[in-house]
Amino acid sequence: MTATAAAGPSAAPCIVLAGGLGTRLRGTLGDVPKCLAPVGARSFLDIQLNALLAAGVDEVVLSLGHQAEQVVAAVKAGPARRSLRWVVEPSLLGTGGAIAHVMDVLGLDEALVANGDTYLDGDISAMLVPLDIGGGEFFRMALVQVPDRTRFGGVDVDGHGRVRGFLEKGRHDGGAINAGLYRLARQALPAARNGAYSLEAEVLPGLVRAGAVRAVSVAGSFTDIGVPEDYRRFCAEHAA
């Protein structure tokens, strides 16, 4: 893990979840970690890091697991970034376990979290504002509007910006979807649980029932490169 200066009092590092197996892209990428998927002369990770730092994120922490050594080697060989460090999972921990592991290792009370295979092009300044813990906000989710939610499912939000639930995949309508960018407090994750668990399946439903999840809309485009056709589209748009 590289050394870095501490973030400011109102800032929170952004944990990029880059330790997954990338099974959906394995036939396209071969033995290359998904976050290092080539996009022209650059990697997807390089493009994502540049976007996060340009958007106002002060510090990025890579949560690494599968093929971590390849990612570390690529980061060391790439542009020097004092605002970047990484934590390697002792074993595959799932999204929830990986986030908890990084927050515990670094002593973080609050963090942004970005999926390592999604790209959100838009103003994320609302995600950089600290959570309203006193008002019961322990989790904030960025949403983006898409014309067809068939593959993504949807997010149901009330008039006060509180998430009420999630809509199943297969809907052929437009609307808000989860954009793969979160801000959460350590209290949102199980305090005494160790090992692998899913943020989406095992943590979020309970937080939603407790009224602890709020949403902000981001005006911009969203890409999930974990699907080969979207990866190829992303390459066509960003390979220059």
Name the pLDDT band for 32 (thresholds 50, 70, 90). confident
In a domain, 198, yes or no: yes
In a domain, 3, yes or no: no
In this prediction, residue 190 carries a pLDDT of 93
What percentage of the chain has pLDDT greater than the value 90? 72
For 149-197, how does the pLDDT look when each residue is reduced to its tens digit (9 = 90+)? 888 889 999 999 999 999 988 778 889 999 999 999 999 999 878 889 9
Comparing 31 with 26, which gets the higher pLDDT?
A: 31
Question: Got the DSSP string for 197-225?
Answer: --IIIIIHHHHHHTT-EEEEE--EEEEET
In a domain, 7, yes or no: no
In a domain, 1, yes or no: no
Query: In angstroms, how far is CA 178 from the centroid of its own chain?
Result: 10
* Span 86-113, average pLDDT: 96
* Span 113-128, average pLDDT: 94
For 195-204, how does the pLDDT look when each residue is reduced to its tens digit (9 = 90+)? 899 999 999 9
In a domain, 69, yes or no: yes
Q: Is the pLDDT of residue 27 over 80?
A: no
The CATH number of residue 164's host domain is: 3.90.550.10
Range of the domain at 232: 14-238
E strands in 107-185:
110-115, 118-122, 139-146, 154-157, 163-167, 175-185
Comparing 230 with 26, which gets the higher pLDDT?
A: 230
In a domain, 202, yes or no: yes
Q: Is the pLDDT of residue 9 over 60?
A: no
What percentage of the chain has pLDDT greater than the value 70? 91
For 61-85, how does the pLDDT look when each residue is reduced to its tens digit (9 = 90+)? 999 998 899 999 999 998 878 889 9
In a domain, 6, yes or no: no
pTM of the model: 0.91
In a domain, 4, yes or no: no
In this prediction, residue 10 carries a pLDDT of 42
Q: Do 103 and 186 form a contact (C-beta atoms < 8 A)?
A: yes
Which residues, 6+ apart, have CB-to-CB distance to 22 below 8 Å?
A: 29, 33, 34, 66, 117, 226
Average pLDDT, the chain: 89
Domain count, the chain: 1
